[in-house]
Amino acid sequence: NARYTLAESHLNAGKLDAAKKAFTQLHASPKSDATVKEVSLYRLIGIAVEQQDWKEAQKQSAAFRIEFPKSDHRWYAAWSEAQAR
């Protein structure tokens, strides 16, 4: 998925706003498969934590736990949500 690769490139380059926009679009897109949606939301949590946007981190973490309760990343989501409080 070229859009996913671009989003990861933005993230790796430290372009957090561009990465956030790209991952948000990927997560919302009906064309994205479940894995892309899961990883995109996981990345959005990490971006929110990095930017110390605790309200956004809490929101994304809660959404992650609901959408992907069996994910390997669920513990990170729970930790991020707790850190945001």
DSSP secondary structure string, 8-36? HHHHHTT-HHHHHHHHHHHHH-TTS-HHH
pLDDT above 90 (res 11): yes
- Bigger pLDDT: 34 or 1? 34
pLDDT above 80 (res 61): yes
Q: Are 53 and 20 in contact (CB under 8 A)?
A: no
Q: What value does the mean pLDDT take over residues 43-69?
A: 94
Within 10 angstroms of residue 53's Cβ, the number of other Cβ atoms is 16
Instruction: Round the average pLDDT of the chain to a whole number and report it.
Output: 93
Condensed to tens digits (0 to 9), the pLDDT of residues 62-78 reads: 999 999 999 999 888 88
